[in-house]
Amino acid sequence: MQEILTLFLLAISLSMDTFSLSLCFGTMNISKIKTILLSSTVGIFHFIMPLLGMTIGNTILKNILVDGKYILLLILSVIGIDMIVSAFKDEEKKLLTSFGAIILFALSVSIDSFSTGIGLNLITQNTLLALLSFTFFSASFTLLGILLGKKLSNKYGKGASIIGGIILIVLGLYFFIN
């Protein structure tokens, strides 16, 4: 029972960043199809990344030449700046809702799952349960974040998009500094 509680708490904690960042996507009023695609993609990445972490282990961490903080700062800043610029345009926002951006978003919010996967065998022997719980919670939190972001956007309009972009940039800087 303690193992299940531990996995539950771990899955929730790994999903918190995707929730906060999904709020920003929600302010863009993305379509239902893209909402489902984004949530599903994040869930799939939260299955694959810890599995890769377990499989590859510490060897890849020793050979990475670029600190992941730089990559995360770059991704979040580009998305944040685009959100702010797009708030002042009436045209459809394509960068953030393109398939490539969805993959980048899913990758950026699942990097912590990769590092968790490295030590997952120390936490549980039930790897499948862990991976499925990571998938379920991350997809659910992404969906909830987008839906809440849409409500904020409908209520506050462009201001919500600008605030969302600023939050992404600040989060990128926060992850970079810490």
Q: In this predicted model, what pLDDT tens digit does every residue of 9-22 receive, in sequence order?
A: 888 887 887 887 88
Task: Give the dihedral of Cα atoms 134, 136, 138, 139; nearest 10 deg.
Answer: 150
Q: In this predicted model, what pLDDT tens digit does every residue of 133-163 receive, in sequence order?
A: 999 999 999 999 999 988 887 777 667 667 7
SS3 content of the chain, % helix, strand, coil (to 5): 85, 0, 15
Domain encompassing residue 61: 2-177
**2 within 8 A of 126, measured Cβ to Cβ:** no
Calpha distance 158→131 (Å, rounded): 37
Counting the structural domains of the chain, the total is: 1
pLDDT at position 134: 94
